[in-house]
């Protein structure tokens, strides 16, 4: 039974693991983390988004080099410079983002990762091995099927088979259930328990508490880059793990003047949209956001919040319903039309959507302004003005930037990129802000600054739609809170009257106030 197995051999261990990025010294992404994975166990790494779980996994598997500390394989110190180094030492990782070539077959995708692969490689041999692994672990998938024809769950199986093909001692899985149905997730948990029973060490990464108790022997909680403790599952409970994960502080609604305006800035009417795999993601969402109001959207990740934000910023098409911005119908209009209507967007995917990573810092700061005076005249950039403006944004948000014009944005930490995005989107005091996880990756001081800025903008009349998985943030800032579950709004409460317990029940689908 999970949590009761005797201690096995330590297959992989990290001691004092630290990770920072060149030119960024604000804080360590990982701060002296200790962890070990043993034969015959599923060790779960639990933490909020941005806690550093993926960074730690990338270090243990060779995708990242560490800044300080040491990795040990079977008690021997090793230096992992690449994923191939990891595989050579018996460590394989299944990433959260699928890394598959869609036009290729399952077997061809597996073969791409083989050191000896070339155009004359016997693909039939790979197909036979894929079938063997599929049957052995209950991960059935047709080796001749093309990736583009497979469901998300089947593609996840292919990713796992790609790793198992190398017969690793340790298997690391980063948020593997994010694309799976509940039934597929339960099957995966059974597969992981089977791997552990064979003597593998499994490191399972998640931010979902219920998954911990379905599959784990031990659990390590990571918070803001620090290990908060490792517990045997038989010696802990949800309350203790939640305390380690979120802390013991109680969310407090920040006092503010009542919303003074009845003018609607954003109106959403019976909105429907499909998700990335063509599944229904929004199922009739309706609400109105007034000028000078902060409306918080609370919910567990994957319940339609991402799709809602994308529809409201022109990045995803609605299949039904309307989006009105200050009375103007912008349904299925382009992102530029939303920007021109006064909609500022702090995106969920800051690296993919929020910035252009190969561009320098100054270019990213004026990404939405460079076409207009005084940032440019007659298509010629006003470099002195852009420099002065960028320096002001960087200073206000205390972003650590080596050089405005010579530093590519990709070298910055996630927290510093978030600071640049916040500065870029708020400096012009926009009438409407769509903010997704605006303080993710920020330290306490930067969070307080952002909260204060949002409340100041609210006082000036800006309408803010705040989408966050941080319930403390939603409860502290929101005038009203809407709870999303399975693509619907299942509750709408006044911020000052919101109770964590009731919001939690609604987020879990156990309660409704609509």
Task: Assess whether the region 10-246 and the region 249-342+430-514 belong to the same CATH fold.
Answer: yes
> 10-246 domain in CATH 3.40.50.300?
yes
Looking at the domain covering 249-342+430-514, what would its CATH class be? Answer: alpha beta
d(CA 110, CA 341): 47
What's residue 346's pLDDT? Answer: 96
Residue showing tokens 């109106």 = 267
d(CA 229, CA 227): 6
Q: Which residues pair with 218 in a beta bridge?
A: 43, 232
pLDDT in tens, 247-289: 655 557 888 999 989 999 999 999 999 998 788 999 999 999 9
Return the SS3 of 359: coil
Where the chain has pLDDT below 50, the residues are: 1-6, 23-26
10-19 and 41-46: which strand pairing? unpaired
d(CA 231, CA 476): 31
What's residue 402's pLDDT? Answer: 85
Could you tell me the strand order of the sheet in which 41-46 lies? 91-94, 170-174, 201-206, 41-46, 218-223, 226-232
What's residue 246's pLDDT? Answer: 63
Q: Which residues pair with 466 in a beta bridge?
A: 296, 435
pTM for the model stands at 0.60
d(CA 296, CA 482): 6
Cβ atoms < 10 Å from Cβ of 363 = 19
Contacts (Cβ under 8 Å, ≥6 apart) of 497: none
What's residue 451's pLDDT? Answer: 94
Domain boundaries defined on the chain: 10-246, 249-342+430-514, 348-429
What helix, strand, coil percent values describe the chain, rounded to 5?
35, 25, 40
What's residue 199's pLDDT? Answer: 94
């Amino acid at each position: 039974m999970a949590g009761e197995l005797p201690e096995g051999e330590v297959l992989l261990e990290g001691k004092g693991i630290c990770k920072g990025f060149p030119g960024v010294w604000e804080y360590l992404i990982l701060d002296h983390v200790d962890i070990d994975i043993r034969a015959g166990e599923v060790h779960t790494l639990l933490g909020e988004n941005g806690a550093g779980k993926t960074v730690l996994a990338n270090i243990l598997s060779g995708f990242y080099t560490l800044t300080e500390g040491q990795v040990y394989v079977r008690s021997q110190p090793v230096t992992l410079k690449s994923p191939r180094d990891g595989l050579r030492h018996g460590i394989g990782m299944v990433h959260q983002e699928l890394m598959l070539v869609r036009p290729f077959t399952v077997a061809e995708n597996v073969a791409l990762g083989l050191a000896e692969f070339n155009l004359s490689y016997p693909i039939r041999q790979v197909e036979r091995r894929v079938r063997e692994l599929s049957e052995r672990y209950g991960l059935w998938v047709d080796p001749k099927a093309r990736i583009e024809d497979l469901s998300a769950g089947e593609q996840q199986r292919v990713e796992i088979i790609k790793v198992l093909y190398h017969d690793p001692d340790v298997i690391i899985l980063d948020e593997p259930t994010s694309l799976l149905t509940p039934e597929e997730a339960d099957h995966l948990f059974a597969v992981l328990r089977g791997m552990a029973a064979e003597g593998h060490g499994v490191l399972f990464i998640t931010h979902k508490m219920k998954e911990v108790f379905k599959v784990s022997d031990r659990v390590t909680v990571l918070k803001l880059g620090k290990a908060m403790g490792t517990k045997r599952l038989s010696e802990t409970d949800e309350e203790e793990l939640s305390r380690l994960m979120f802390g013991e502080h109680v969310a407090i609604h920040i006092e503010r003047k009542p919303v003074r305006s009845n003018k609607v800035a954003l109106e959403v009417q019976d909105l429907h949209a499909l998700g990335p795999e063509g599944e229904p993601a929004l199922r009739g969402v309706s609400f109105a956001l007034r000028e000078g109001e902060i409306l918080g959207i609370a919910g567990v990740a994957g319940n339609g919040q991402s799709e809602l934000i994308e529809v409201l910023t022109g990045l995803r098409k609605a299949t039904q319903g309307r989006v009105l911005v200050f009375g103007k119908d912008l349904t299925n209009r382009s992102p530029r039309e939303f920007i021109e209507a006064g909609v500022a967007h702090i995106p969920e995917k800051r690296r993919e959507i929020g910035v252009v990573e190969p561009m320098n810092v100054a270019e990213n700061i004026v990404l939405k302004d460079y076409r207009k005076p005084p940032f440019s005249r007659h298509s010629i950039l006003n470099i002195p003005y852009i420099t002065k403006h960028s320096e002001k944004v960087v200073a206000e948000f205390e972003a650590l930037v080596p050089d405005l014009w010579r530093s590519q944005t990709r070298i910055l930490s996630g927290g510093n990129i978030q600071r640049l995005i916040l500065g870029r989107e708020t400096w012009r005091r926009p009438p409407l802000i769509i903010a997704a996880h605006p303080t993710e990756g920020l330290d306490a001081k930067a969070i307080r600054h952002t909260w204060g800025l949002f409340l100041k903008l609210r006082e000036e009349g800006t309408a803010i739609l705040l989408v966050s998985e941080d319930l403390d943030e939603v409860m502290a800032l929101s005038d009203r809170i809407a709870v999303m579950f399975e693509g619907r709004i299942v509750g709408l409460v006044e911020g000052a009257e919101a109770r964590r317990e009731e919001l939690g029940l609604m987020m879990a689908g156990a309660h409704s106030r609509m």
